C-alpha cells in the first residue's frame, strides 16, 4: 500500500475552508488549514490535485519515494499582494488558485 501524505500550510485566504483531495479522479477526502494528512492509495503513480469550489490546484503526477510514501505540499496562491487579486484567480486562473508541489517543506509544520 502506498501512502499519499499532503501537508497544507496555514494561510489567511482559505483559513476556514477545506480542500478536497482528488487522485486519479477519485475523491480521497478533505484537508484542513495547517494539517498534514495521510491517504492510503492502491497504485503507485497518481495524478493528484486539490479543489475548493470551482477552483483547483495544478495537476501533479506523483510517484512514491523509496519508502512508498508520496509527499506533497499545498498552499494558497493568494499571499501578500496577490490577496488583492482573488477575483482574477477565481475568474481567470481557477487552476492556479492552489499551488501543489512535490516534496515536504518543514516550514509549514
pLDDT in tens, the chain (109 residues): 788 999 998 877 777 889 999 999 999 999 999 999 999 988 777 799 999 888 889 999 987 777 788 889 998 876 665 656 666 666 777 777 788 998 865 544 4
Count up the domains in the chain and report the number: 1
pLDDT at 109: 43
Q: What is the pTM of this model?
A: 0.82
pLDDT at 27: 94
For 95, the domain range is: 2-108
Q: Residue 87 is part of a domain; what is its CATH number?
A: 2.60.40
What torsion do the CA atoms of 80, 77, 41, 36 make, to the nearest 10 degrees?
A: 10
Amino acid at each position: 500500500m502506498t501512502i499519499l501524505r499532503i501537508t497544507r500550510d496555514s494561510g489567511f485566504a482559505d483559513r476556514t475552508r477545506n480542500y478536497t483531495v482528488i487522485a486519479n479522479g477519485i475523491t480521497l477526502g478533505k484537508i484542513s488549514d495547517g494539517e498534514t494528512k495521510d491517504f492510503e492509495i492502491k497504485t503507485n503513480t497518481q495524478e493528484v490535485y486539490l479543489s475548493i469550489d470551482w477552483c483547483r490546484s495544478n495537476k501533479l503526477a506523483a510517484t512514491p519515494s523509496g519508502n512508498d510514501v508520496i509527499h506533497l505540499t499545498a498552499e494558497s496562491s493568494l499571499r501578500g499582494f496577490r490577496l488583492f487579486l482573488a477575483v482574477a484567480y477565481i475568474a481567470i486562473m481557477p487552476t492556479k488558485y492552489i499551488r501543489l508541489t512535490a516534496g515536504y517543506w518543514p516550514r509549514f509544520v
